[in-house]
Chain A
Amino acid sequence: MTRNRRLAPQIGEVINRSAPLGFTWNGKPLTGFVGDTIASALVANDVRVVSRSMKYHRPRGYMTNDFWDPNAFMQVGDDPNVRSAHRLLEGGMAIEAQNVWPSLDRDIKAANGLVKRFLSAGFYYKTFIRPQTLWPAYEKVLATFAPGGTVDLDTPHGYYDKRYAHPDVVVAGGGPAGMAAAIAAAQSGAQVMLVEHAHVLGGHLRWGSIADRALADELAAEVHGAGVEVLTDSTVTGRYDDNWTAIVQRSHPIAIERLIKARAKTLVVAAGLIERPYVFAGNDKPGVMTSGAVRRFVNVHSVRPGERAVVFSANADGDAAAADLERVGIRVARVVDARAGENVIEAHGNSRSVESVELADGSTVDCDLLVTAVGWTAPTSLLNMAGDRPSYHEQSARFFGSASIDDVLTTGGIAGDGSIDQLVEHGRLTGRLAAARAAVIGHQLQAATARAVEPANAEPAWPTDDRAPLDRHAHPELFRSSTHGIVDFSEDVSSKDLVSAANEGYDSVELLKRFTTATMGPAQGKLETVNTVAVLAEARGETIEQVGTTVWRPPYAPITLGALGGRVFEPVRVSSIQPWHEAHGATPILAGQWVRPEHYGDPMAEVRNTRTNVGVIDVTPLGKLDLRGPDVPKLLNQLYTNKWSKLAVGAVRYGLMCAEDGVVLDDGVTARLSDDHYMMTTTSSGAGSIWEWAESWLQTEHPDWRVHVTPVTTGFTSINVAGPKSRDLMQRLVTDIDLSPDSFSYMQVRSGTIADVAGCFMWRIGFTGELSYELHVPAGYGLHVWKRLLAEGVDLGVQPFGLEAQRIMRLEKGHFIVGQDTDGLTKAPTTGLANLIKLDKVDFAGKAELAWALDDDTAPVLVSLQPTDPRLVPDEACQIVRAGTNEILGRITSSLMSPTLNRSICLGQVLPHVAAAGTELTVVLVDGRRATARVMEHHAHYDPEGERLRV
Chain B
Amino acid sequence: MSDRAGSEPAFESSVLRAYAPGSSNALTLSDESALAKTIVRAEAGSPASASLAVSFGSSRREGATLVLGQRPDEYMLIGSAQSNASIVARLDTSGHVSVIDHTHSRALFRLTGAQASATLEKVCSLDWSNAMTPDGAVVSASIAKVNCDIARNDREPVDAEPASASPSYLIACDRSFGQYLFDALIDAGGEFGIGVVTAADGLQE
Contact of B180 among A571, A757, A779, A782 (CB under 8 A): A571
Give chain A residues whose Cβ lies under 8 Å from the Cβ of B56. 450
Check B96–A164 contact: CB distance below 8 A.
no
Known: A191-B162, A756-B9. A710 touches B100 (CB 8 A): yes
Residue A103 lies at the interface, judged by CB distance under 8 Å to chain B: no
Give chain A residues whose Cβ lies under 8 Å from the Cβ of B174. 573, 713-714
Cα separation A573 to B184 with both chains bound (whole Å): 13
Check A629–B100 contact: CB distance below 8 A.
no
A179 nearest CB across to chain B (Å): 20
Cα separation A344 to B55 with both chains bound (whole Å): 74
Scan residues 92-135 of chain B and give those whose CB is less than 8 A from a CB of chain A. 96, 98, 100-106, 121-134
Check A263–B8 contact: CB distance below 8 A.
no
Scan residues 758-813 of chain A and give those whose CB is less than 8 A from a CB of chain B. 758-759, 778-784
Cα separation A715 to B7 with both chains bound (whole Å): 20
Cα separation A706 to B96 with both chains bound (whole Å): 6
Scan residues 123-169 of chain A and give those whose CB is less than 8 A from a CB of chain B. 161-166
Give chain A residues whose Cβ lies under 8 Å from the Cβ of B191. 253-254
Dominant SS among interface residues on chain A: mixed
Residue B139 lies at the interface, judged by CB distance under 8 Å to chain A: yes
Residue A574 lies at the interface, judged by CB distance under 8 Å to chain B: yes
Give chain B residues whose Cβ lies under 8 Å from the Cβ of A708. 41, 96, 98
Give chain A residues whose Cβ lies under 8 Å from the Cβ of B146. 571
Check A780–B184 contact: CB distance below 8 A.
no
Which residue of chain A has the shortest Cβ distance to B139 in the bound complex?
A451
Check A714–B98 contact: CB distance below 8 A.
no
Known: A708-B98, A715-B1, A784-B9. A574 touches B176 (CB 8 A): yes
Residue B205 lies at the interface, judged by CB distance under 8 Å to chain A: no
Check A450–B57 contact: CB distance below 8 A.
yes
Known: A451-B57, A620-B176. A579 touches B16 (CB 8 A): yes
Which residue of chain A has the shortest Cβ distance to B102 in the bound complex?
A715
Residue A569 lies at the interface, judged by CB distance under 8 Å to chain B: yes
Residue A227 lies at the interface, judged by CB distance under 8 Å to chain B: yes
Known: A442-B131, A453-B131. A576 touches B5 (CB 8 A): no
Give chain A residues whose Cβ lies under 8 Å from the Cβ of B127. 166, 263, 445
Residue A575 lies at the interface, judged by CB distance under 8 Å to chain B: yes
Check B176–A594 contact: CB distance below 8 A.
yes
Check A759–B3 contact: CB distance below 8 A.
yes
Check B3–A758 contact: CB distance below 8 A.
yes
Contact of B96 among A629, A714, A715 (CB under 8 A): A629
Max chain A Cβ within 10 angstroms of own Cβ: one of B5, B13, B96:
B96
Check B105–A712 contact: CB distance below 8 A.
yes
Which residue of chain A has the shortest Cβ distance to B5 in the bound complex?
A758
Scan residues 440-458 of chain A and give those whose CB is less than 8 A from a CB of chain B. 442, 445-446, 449-453
Residue A600 lies at the interface, judged by CB distance under 8 Å to chain B: no
Cα separation A161 to B144 with both chains bound (whole Å): 12
A551 nearest CB across to chain B (Å): 28
Cα separation A778 to B58 with both chains bound (whole Å): 29
A59 nearest CB across to chain B (Å): 44
Check B98–A710 contact: CB distance below 8 A.
yes
Residue A716 lies at the interface, judged by CB distance under 8 Å to chain B: yes
Number of residues of chain B lying within 8 A (CB) of chain A:
63
Check A779–B105 contact: CB distance below 8 A.
yes
Give chain A residues whose Cβ lies under 8 Å from the Cβ of B13. 780
Check B1–A759 contact: CB distance below 8 A.
yes
Known: A452-B137, A714-B174, A714-B176. A165 touches B55 (CB 8 A): no
Known: A453-B134, A784-B12. A715 touches B55 (CB 8 A): no
Check A569–B145 contact: CB distance below 8 A.
yes
Cα separation A714 to B14 with both chains bound (whole Å): 10
Residue A206 lies at the interface, judged by CB distance under 8 Å to chain B: no
Residue B198 lies at the interface, judged by CB distance under 8 Å to chain A: no
Check B131–A574 contact: CB distance below 8 A.
no
A673 nearest CB across to chain B (Å): 11
Give chain B residues whose Cβ lies under 8 Å from the Cβ of A253. 191
Give chain B residues whose Cβ lies under 8 Å from the Cβ of A227. 162
Give chain A residues whose Cβ lies under 8 Å from the Cβ of B162. 191, 227
Residue A753 lies at the interface, judged by CB distance under 8 Å to chain B: yes
Give chain A residues whose Cβ lies under 8 Å from the Cβ of B123. 569
Give chain B residues whose Cβ lies under 8 Å from the Cβ of A263. 127
Give chain B residues whose Cβ lies under 8 Å from the Cβ of A449. 57, 132
Which residue of chain B has the shortest Cβ distance to A776 in the bound complex?
B1
Max chain B Cβ within 10 angstroms of own Cβ: one of A254, A594, A711, A780:
A780
Give chain B residues whose Cβ lies under 8 Å from the Cβ of A450. 55-58
Give chain B residues whose Cβ lies under 8 Å from the Cβ of A782. 12
Residue A296 lies at the interface, judged by CB distance under 8 Å to chain B: no
B70 nearest CB across to chain A (Å): 10
Check B39–A452 contact: CB distance below 8 A.
no
Scan residues 569-596 of chain A and give those whose CB is less than 8 A from a CB of chain B. 569-576, 579, 594
Residue A567 lies at the interface, judged by CB distance under 8 Å to chain B: yes
Check A575–B132 contact: CB distance below 8 A.
no
Number of residues of chain A lying within 8 A (CB) of chain B:
58
Give chain B residues whose Cβ lies under 8 Å from the Cβ of A756. 5, 7-9
Contact of A453 among B7, B41, B100, B130 (CB under 8 A): B130
Check B58–A626 contact: CB distance below 8 A.
no
Cα separation A782 to B57 with both chains bound (whole Å): 33
Contact of A569 among B100, B126, B184 (CB under 8 A): B184
Give chain B residues whose Cβ lies under 8 Å from the Cβ of A711. 105
B198 nearest CB across to chain A (Å): 17
Check A446–B132 contact: CB distance below 8 A.
yes
Check B187–A575 contact: CB distance below 8 A.
no
Check B2–A759 contact: CB distance below 8 A.
yes
Give chain A residues whose Cβ lies under 8 Å from the Cβ of B176. 573-575, 594, 620-621, 713-714
Contact of B2 among A164, A572, A758, A784 (CB under 8 A): A758
Which residue of chain A has the shortest Cβ distance to B142 in the bound complex?
A569
Cα separation A756 to B180 with both chains bound (whole Å): 29
Residue A496 lies at the interface, judged by CB distance under 8 Å to chain B: no
Known: A166-B127, A569-B144. A445 touches B132 (CB 8 A): yes
A443 nearest CB across to chain B (Å): 9
Check A757–B8 contact: CB distance below 8 A.
yes
Residue B60 lies at the interface, judged by CB distance under 8 Å to chain A: no
Cα separation A620 to B175 with both chains bound (whole Å): 11
Residue B201 lies at the interface, judged by CB distance under 8 Å to chain A: no
Residue B51 lies at the interface, judged by CB distance under 8 Å to chain A: no
Check A753–B11 contact: CB distance below 8 A.
no
Give chain B residues whose Cβ lies under 8 Å from the Cβ of A163. 121-122
Check A451–B133 contact: CB distance below 8 A.
yes
Q: Mark A858-883, 1 if CB is under 8 A from B, else 0.
A: 00000000000000000000000000
Cα separation A590 to B142 with both chains bound (whole Å): 22
Check A758–B8 contact: CB distance below 8 A.
yes
Check A781–B145 contact: CB distance below 8 A.
no
Give chain A residues whose Cβ lies under 8 Å from the Cβ of B130. 453
Give chain A residues whose Cβ lies under 8 Å from the Cβ of B103. 715, 778, 780
Residue B190 lies at the interface, judged by CB distance under 8 Å to chain A: yes
Residue A261 lies at the interface, judged by CB distance under 8 Å to chain B: yes
Give chain A residues whose Cβ lies under 8 Å from the Cβ of B9. 756-757, 781, 784
Contact of A576 among B12, B131, B138 (CB under 8 A): B12
Contact of B39 among A445, A710, A759 (CB under 8 A): A710
Cα separation A164 to B125 with both chains bound (whole Å): 5
Q: Mark B21-53, 1 if CB is under 8 A from A, else 0.
A: 000000000000110000101000000000000
Give chain B residues whose Cβ lies under 8 Å from the Cβ of A757. 2, 5, 8-9
Residue A628 lies at the interface, judged by CB distance under 8 Å to chain B: yes
B187 nearest CB across to chain A (Å): 7
Which residue of chain B has the shortest Cβ distance to A166 in the bound complex?
B127
**Beyond known contacts A567-B122, A757-B8: 4 more, CB 8 A cutoff:** A254-B191, A452-B134, A757-B9, A781-B11
Shortest 7 CB-CB distances between A and B: which pairs? Answer: A715-B105, A450-B57, A759-B2, A573-B176, A451-B57, A451-B137, A166-B127
Chosen A-B contacts, 24 in total, with CB atoms closer than 8 Å, are A162-B122, A163-B121, A163-B122, A164-B126, A166-B128, A166-B129, A254-B191, A263-B127, A449-B132, A451-B58, A451-B134, A452-B137, A569-B184, A626-B100, A710-B39, A710-B41, A712-B1, A712-B102, A759-B2, A778-B104, A779-B104, A781-B12, A781-B104, A784-B12
